[in-house]
Amino acid sequence: MSVPHLSTAVLSTNFVADSIPKFTQMLIALAVFFAVILLIFFLAARARGKAQTPLALLIFLGPAVVLLLIGLVMPAIRTISLSFFNADSNKFVGGKNYGWAFTDPDMRKILITTVLWLVVAPIFATSLGLMLALLIDRMKHESVPKSFMFMPMAISFVGASIIWKFIYDYRDPSNAQIGLLNQVVLWLGWKNPPNWLLTQPLNNFLLMVIMIWVQTGFAMVVLSAAIKAIPSDVIEAASLDGATGVRLFRTVTVPMIRNTLVVVFTTILIAVLKIFDIVRTVTGGQFGTQVLSNEMYNQTFALYDNGRGAALAVVLFVGVLPVMTYNVVQLRKERANR
């Protein structure tokens, strides 16, 4: 182990000095927030008579409603209107931004890449998750593999991206390798592997692997629970009728968990449609890997084109809307069935 050097000493003094005001800010914010709530509660609890209920509503519901109006409703309306204006939002341009979004050659490529993501990643993650859920259902110590496969879901996409960018690291075959993927294919006898992250369209699939790595555990845990919830008499009746193995799976298991399958699939679909962190961290959207959500961010915050940025946000919204509506309605139905 090496001797800790100068940076450690610098770290300890500056670091503490810098951190104290930050924690002070946080503690003041928390103290003020909760003190105000408690004070209002204390005062309002003394109200008597007719004003009681309206006052309680105002205090309990008011803050959430106001924050939602300012934070989501008003901005959504404004984003829609901004999407019909130019970059500086001072000239009405009609549908020009949308025309650009669907006809510009670069944008087309971005949309195609996004659709490719939408087709590949959710299908792989869901079917792999389903397969694992079925296999795991037959194991004695299922919680251990479940925990490990679910683990990627706990860490950030940024962390996952760094982990995988390292795996995809490319070096010329004549050098010692540090990227696992390149080393494995060299061991397997591939003499001249491509420079992974620079090769189109291969790099898009490599990025999707990160998403699949993260989402498979989620799919597996949810589907595994659904499989366990199938009443055992259904399975027994089916097996008395001679259904076994794949046939049992196809005719009984899958139909019984169909709703859950759809919810898992659509949930991953939405996550993929909004994928941002992975592309941004691994390639920055270069080398033909740009996707809708990251381009929206770039147009807005790198190119300062509020019109185009807003138009892309609306495209994203319209894409998410049907799937999300379905999901949310589905959630409600399941709740009603309880």
Partner 1 sequence: MTVESQQTIPTSAPPPPPPPEHREGSSAAMRASFSTPLASVIVVIITVLWTIPILGLLVTSIRPQKDVASSGWWTFFTHPTFTLENYTNVLGGGGSGGSGGLAPFFINSFIITIPGALFPLALASMAAYALAWVPFRGSTFIFFAIFALQVVPLQMSLIPLLQLFNNNFTIFGIHIPTPVLSGYSAYLPVWIAHTMFALPLATFLLHNFISQLPRALFEAARVDGASHFLIFRKIVLPLSTPAIASFAIFQFLWVWNDLLVALTFAGGSNNAPLTARLSQLTGAFGSKWELLTSGAFIAIIVPLIVFFSLQRFFVRGLLAGSVKG
Per CB under 8 A, contacts with partner 1 among 33-52 are: 33-34, 37, 41-42, 44-45, 47, 52
Four-residue CA torsion sign, 121, 127, 130, 136: negative
Q: What is the pattern of x (binds partner 1, CB under 8 A) and - over residues 263-292?
A: x---x--x---x-xx--xxx-x--------
Contact status: 70 vs partner 1 (CB under 8 A): yes
Nearest approach, Cβ of 127 to partner 1 (angstroms)?
Answer: 13
Nearest CA to 252 among 265, 235, 266?
A: 235
17 binds partner 1 (CB under 8 A): no
Which one of 50, 91, 191, 335 is in contact with partner 1 (CB under 8 A)? 335
| Angle ∠(145,184,279) on CA atoms, nearest 5 | 70
CB 96 to partner 1: min, Å? 17
- Cβ 44 to partner 1, closest distance in Å? 6
**What's the closest the beta carbon of residue 105 comes to partner 1, in angstroms?**
23
To partner 1, the closest distance from the beta carbon of 204 in angstroms equals 18
Residue type, 238: A
Q: CB-wise, 38 or 119, nearer to partner 1?
A: 38
Shortest Cβ 37–partner 1 spacing (Å):
7
Whichever of 48 and 191 has its CB closer to partner 1, that residue is 48
Q: Which of residues 145-184 bind partner 1 (CB under 8 A)?
A: 145-167, 169, 176-180, 183
- Residue 324 makes contact with partner 1 by CB under 8 A: yes
Could you tell me where the DSSP H helices lie in 51-142? 52-68, 74-82, 96-103, 105-136
Residues 93-152 that bind partner 1 (CB under 8 A): 132, 134-152
Q: Could you tell me which residues come within 8 angstroms of residue 162 by beta carbon, excluding any fewer than 6 positions away?
A: 281
Residue 185 Ramachandran class (φ > 0 left, ψ -120 to 50 alpha, else beta): alpha
- 3-class DSSP state of 68: helix
Residue 271: which residues within 8 A CB-CB, separation 6 or more? 211, 215
- Site size toward partner 1 (CB under 8 A) is 150
Best CA proximity match to 311, nearest among 73, 105, 107: 107
Supply the DSSP string of 274-320, one letter for each residue. T--HHHHHHTTTTTTT--HHHHHHHHHHTS--HHHHHHHHHHHHHHH
Comparing CB distances to partner 1, the nearer of 113 and 261 is: 261
Cα distance between the two ends of the chain: 58
298 touching partner 1, by CB under 8 A: no
Decide: is 296 part of the binding site for partner 1 (CB under 8 A).
yes
Pick from 218, 289, 290, 298 the residue near partner 1 by CB under 8 A. Answer: 218
